[in-house]
């Protein structure tokens, strides 16, 4: 890993733990992920027949996890709301 990438990675990790706005985003991402996927992931574990990673990936796509995360981030393709 280049030195620049290491410096950037360390700075981002530090910001996640120190910046209140980023901590709030983390909390919102966790809550939304749990809300969308808890039951679906449980289904994968208890009743799914596919490999777990494949089932999780399919459930995340079915539930619109990427779009939900983009909304939280206020990214293009999502609407901050």
pLDDT at 78: 52
Report the Cα 12 to chain-centroid distance in Å: 16
pLDDT at 8: 85
pLDDT band at residue 77, thresholds of 50, 70 and 90?
Answer: low
Mean pLDDT estimate for the chain: 89
Q: What is the pTM of this model?
A: 0.72
Mean pLDDT of 67-72: 94
Spell out the domain ranges in the chain.
3-73
């Amino acid at each position: 890993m280049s030195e620049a990438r290491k410096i950037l990675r360390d700075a981002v990790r530090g910001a996640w733990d120190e910046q209140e706005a980023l901590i709030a985003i983390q909390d919102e991402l966790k809550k939304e992920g749990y809300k969308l996927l808890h039951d679906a992931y449980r289904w994968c574990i208890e009743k799914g027949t596919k490999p777990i990673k494949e089932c999780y990936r399919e459930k995340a796509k079915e539930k619109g996890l990427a779009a939900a995360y983009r909304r939280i981030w206020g990214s293009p393709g999502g609407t901050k709301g």
